[in-house]
Amino acid sequence: MCQPDDIYWCDGSEEQKDNLTSVALKSGDLIALNQEKLPGCYLHRSALNDVARTENLTYVCTEQREDAGPNNNWMAPAESYDKLAKIFSGAMRGRTLYVIPFLMGPASSSFSKVGIQITDSVYVVLNMRLMTRMGQIALDHLGDSDDFTRCLHSKADLDIERRFICHYPQDNTIWSVGSGYGGNALLAKKCLALRIASKLGQKEGWLAEHMLVVGVENPEGEVHYICGAFPSACGKTNLAMLVPPPSMKGWKIHTIGDDIAWLRVGPDGRLWAINPEAGFFGVAPGTGSKTNPNAMTTVQHDTIFTNVALRPDGTVWWEGHDDPAPSSAEDWRGKPWTPNSGHPAAHPNSRFTASIKQCPTYSSEWDKPQGVPISAILFGARRNKLVPLVYQSFNWQHGTFLGATLASETTAAATGAVGVVRRDPMAMLPFCGYNMGDYWAHWLSMAQRARHSPKIFRVNWFQRNEQGKFTWPGFGENLRVLRWVVERCKGGGEAEETPEPCATCDNCRRSAQLEASIPAPAEVAPPPPAPQPAPLFVVGSRVRVPRHEEGEVIAIAGDMVTITFGDGNENKTFLASYVQPSETAANLNGGPS
């Protein structure tokens, strides 16, 4: 179909990297940087119309539209294969077709998945070599099985009118055409490790999440692992590589991953996580020694920079870099630039690609087949007001609700209005490969699988005061919040249980008024149908509700449940999702991690 001139099998070796780098330098796909100052580093400039993931051109192709859900663009598989095959047809004439076998996750881990990507982009090959475990390791994992994700990619003519990123969950297949950039072209990342993997997770009983994974070590040497789901532009990479503040001597951070976590229930009933990736594809602007010194160290060698500015001495620069703006440079498009040019030198979505092993906080647990046990899950987003610095959910179901209602305010980095609240359930809106309602039901069902589920917290580093100033210092100081989270996981940590908002008290009325004063979101997907959990109790069941004694169900009406407590003198009505059967209540409230 693609009709390439040549076929090249990638083995991930140093030798091939050197050869392919020479090919890329010759073709102009890479520009050599100053090899004394930045050894092994190169610059790539993408096409001007191809600088970010394109959600509007991304599809989940299932037989039934409902299976893709209101959260995805949908096309029927037959229509989509047909449309894309026409674009792929002859697209690699005069080009080399690269075959990339890659493994997502540690060798000999039952967590790990194999993919094989076909591409006509040497830049994609070199990035995938940093972002995945490439070559024989993947073929060894596969053996004679055909259980791998089929990834077909071509830049074709980079025409945005002929650009499609299509996922076929029932065929374990991804076809992407017309883009050579990041999430559209490195198919291991968002396409496989999130969209396809989330559907596999639903089928196989695990979770593929848009989460960082970090180990927090206290001065006694005890390490707790925490996952954090945050929408893009909320500092996941910074949190994953955090530097402890001066007030927390003896504390250490261990980086497992900055973007994606695969979570499974271990034999001990806890959730265990791996990072399926092997590298970072981090945003350059805003990265500096004050915000993320570990990222700055990571990118001093063997790094591919994409769409950053080039200084006359062959080094790179971006807005937020440690060095002041250069008096002259080439901007991300290769055009002459000065501080008076009136536009940024680096593209706001410019990137660095580097191996996780180059990060000073790299955790040797990253490569452990069983992954790491997760004590806590954070859901975080950017909210000016209303959402406090940190609070804990009562149980897994309540935590799922906190994740499902996650919303973030847009920043100047994104197109469109600034400060608009966008709903982004579990930070997965662009990445959930199936119906969001089914995904929430799957999250709820994990409580039945995990006897000792992690505690779930909502965090917000971004509250501002009346003067518009951040009320929390953020960055390294966020470790103070992680310390409290770990204390809570160990059964300590000071906390006050507060009720859910009511309709009558002054505090809750004020919150409701504030919520109403926030401008209506510009682009909000219609809410998916509410998931229908299997009934956990019937009239007559003994049940528990957070902060109440055990009681007995005396009536069920829709999703409201009336319970009688004590001698039958006190009857109260609750939302069914707050009510747990008494025999599993302890488990659902989370056991020790």
Site for Mn ion, rule CB under 5 A: 259
Does 234 participate in catalysis according to the annotation? yes
Q: Mention every residue, 6+ apart, whose C-beta is less than 8 A from residue 124.
A: 98, 100, 117, 153, 180, 185, 186
Residue 535: CB minimum distance to ligand O2Y, A: 37
Rounded CA separation 424/523 (Å): 11
In terms of CB distance, is 193 or 485 closer to ligand O2Y? 193
Judged by beta carbon distances under 5 to 8 A according to partner kind, the member of Mn ion, ligand O2Y, none in contact with residue 183 is: ligand O2Y
In terms of CB distance, is 259 or 302 closer to Mn ion? 259
Q: Taking a C-beta distance cutoff of 8 angstroms, is the pair 115, 149 a contact?
A: yes
Give the largest CA-CA distance in the chain.
84
Name the residue whose CB lies closest to ligand O2Y: 182
Residue 260: CB minimum distance to Mn ion, A: 7
Nearest to 68 by CA among 79, 59, 78, 58: 59
Q: Mention every residue, 6+ apart, whose C-beta is less than 8 A from residue 151.
A: 115, 116, 117, 118, 173, 174, 176, 187, 188, 191, 192
CA distances from 578 to 202, 450, 563 (A): 24, 18, 12
In terms of CB distance, is 281 or 362 closer to ligand O2Y? 281
In terms of CB distance, is 183 or 244 closer to ligand O2Y? 183
Residue 348: CB minimum distance to ligand O2Y, A: 10
Residue 236: CB minimum distance to ligand O2Y, A: 8
Judged by beta carbon distances under 5 to 8 A according to partner kind, the member of Mn ion, ligand O2Y, none in contact with residue 53 is: ligand O2Y
Residue 185 in 3-state DSSP? helix
Residue 20 CB coordination number (10 Å): 21
Instruction: Mark 282-300 as b/e (b = at least 16 C-beta within 10 Å).
Output: bbbbbbbeebbbbbbebbe
In terms of CB distance, is 212 or 444 closer to ligand O2Y? 212
Residue 232: CB minimum distance to Mn ion, A: 5
Name the residue whose CB lies closest to Mn ion: 259
Q: Mention every residue, 6+ apart, whose C-beta is less than 8 A from residue 238.
A: 291, 292, 295, 475
Judged by beta carbon distances under 5 to 8 A according to partner kind, the member of ligand O2Y, Mn ion, none in contact with residue 349 is: ligand O2Y
Judged by beta carbon distances under 5 to 8 A according to partner kind, the member of ligand O2Y, Mn ion, none in contact with residue 279 is: none
Rounded CA separation 519/113 (Å): 43
In terms of CB distance, is 181 or 225 closer to ligand O2Y? 181
Please identify which residue in the block is written with the tokens 């990736």: 277
Please identify which residue in the block is written with the tokens 């995904």: 439
Residue 261: CB minimum distance to ligand O2Y, A: 13
Judged by beta carbon distances under 5 to 8 A according to partner kind, the member of Mn ion, ligand O2Y, none in contact with residue 281 is: ligand O2Y
In terms of CB distance, is 240 or 482 closer to ligand O2Y? 240
Please identify which residue in the block is written with the tokens 């959730």: 271
Residue 38: CB minimum distance to ligand O2Y, A: 21
Residue 179: CB minimum distance to ligand O2Y, A: 9
In terms of CB distance, is 315 or 349 closer to ligand O2Y? 349
Please identify which residue in the block is written with the tokens 């496989």: 192
Q: Taking a C-beta distance cutoff of 8 angstroms, is the pair 271, 261 a contact?
A: no
Rounded CA separation 232/260 (Å): 12
Judged by beta carbon distances under 5 to 8 A according to partner kind, the member of Mn ion, ligand O2Y, none in contact with residue 52 is: ligand O2Y
Q: At what angle do helices 122-131 and 14-27 cross, to 10 degrees?
A: 140
Judged by beta carbon distances under 5 to 8 A according to partner kind, the member of Mn ion, ligand O2Y, none in contact with residue 544 is: none
Rg (alpha carbons) of the chain, rounded to whole number: 25
Residue 248: CB minimum distance to Mn ion, A: 27
Q: Mention every residue, 6+ apart, whose C-beta is less than 8 A from residue 149.
A: 113, 114, 115, 116, 172, 173, 174, 187, 192, 196
Annotated catalytic residue, options 227, 234, 359, 432: 234
Residue-wise DSSP of 401-421: HHHHT-EEE--TTSSS-TT-E
Judged by beta carbon distances under 5 to 8 A according to partner kind, the member of ligand O2Y, Mn ion, none in contact with residue 251 is: none
In terms of CB distance, is 183 or 531 closer to ligand O2Y? 183
Q: At what angle do helices 396-404 and 436-449 cross, to 10 degrees?
A: 160
Q: Taking a C-beta distance cutoff of 8 angstroms, is the pair 247, 190 a contact?
A: no
Please report, as ranges, the residues that interact with ligand O2Y according to CB under 6 A. Answer: 52-53, 181-183, 232, 259, 281, 349
Residues annotated as catalytic are 234
